[in-house]
Structure formats: C-alpha cells, structure tokens
C-alpha cells in the first residue's frame, strides 16, 4: 500500500491518519523495504485535489512527526509539477524544521 497524504486529506471522511498509520506500516512489514508515501500540496484552496508546483513543508512535516513515533524509515515520493526542483526545495525547507537534518541532497533524518 502507498499512502497519499494529500489525497487522504481530500477524501478521508472521518478517518484520521493516526488511526490508519499502524495498518499502513504493517502492510510493509515483510517486504524489507521502507514504507512509501506520496506527498503533495493542493494547487489552491478551491482546487484541493490538483497538485501544486511545489510541496509546502507544512503539508508534510506534521505527518513526518507522527510517523516518527513508529520508528520506521519512509520513502517520500514528491508529486509536484516542478518534479526534481520541488523535491530539492522540499528537502531544504524540511531541513529547517525542528528535529530534522539533511543527510544528503535528497534525504533527511530526524535529529
């Protein structure tokens, strides 16, 4: 299972990420691979399902803090119109957040 946190917010109904995260992570348990998520930001408040050119770090950071409680690595796939530029910008922006440090051009870890 790949979890798309942007589209989850658009379509979740009454489900909460805190409630589905354990089951999502369990679906990766026997794979020897890190769990994969899709991260994106809405194009605009009126068009919440379309992808923005870049990812706003405030759309991903709260999820990363929540996922940290489970102590598992994640592969974050950026879904943004500016592709690689969006990924490099997101890594830089997230590295400025509390408890996160950049470990490579496209990788982060919790400090």
* pLDDT by position in tens, the chain (length 111): 999 999 898 886 778 999 999 999 999 999 999 999 999 999 998 888 899 999 999 999 999 999 999 999 999 999 999 999 999 999 999 999 999 999 999 999 998
pLDDT at 111: 85
What secondary structure letter does DSSP report for 32? S
What residue numbers bound the domain in which 72 lies?
Answer: 3-110
pLDDT at 15: 85
Into how many domains does the chain fold? 1
Given its phi and psi angles, is residue 83 left (phi above 0), alpha (psi -120 to 50 degrees) or beta?
Answer: left
pLDDT at 24: 96
pTM of the model: 0.91
Rounded to the nearest 5°, which phi and psi values hold at 8? -60, -45
CB contact at 8 A, 77 and 37: yes
The domain spanning residue 72 has which CATH number? 3.20.20.150
| DSSP assignment of 20-60 | HHHHHHHTTTTSSS-EEEEE--EEETTEEEEEPSS--HHHH
């Amino acid at each position: 299972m790949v979890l798309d946190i942007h589209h989850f917010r658009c379509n979740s109904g009454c489900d909460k990420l805190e409630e589905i995260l354990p089951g999502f992570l369990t679906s990766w348990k026997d794979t020897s691979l890190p769990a994969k998520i899709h991260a994106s930001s809405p194009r605009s408040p009126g068009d919440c399902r379309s992808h923005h050119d870049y990812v706003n770090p405030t759309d991903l950071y709260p999820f990363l803090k929540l996922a940290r409680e489970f102590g598992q690595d994640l592969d974050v796939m950026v879904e943004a119109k500016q592709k690689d530029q969006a990924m490099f910008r997101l890594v830089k922006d997230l590295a400025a957040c509390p408890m996160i440090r950049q470990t490579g051009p496209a990788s982060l870890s919790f400090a």
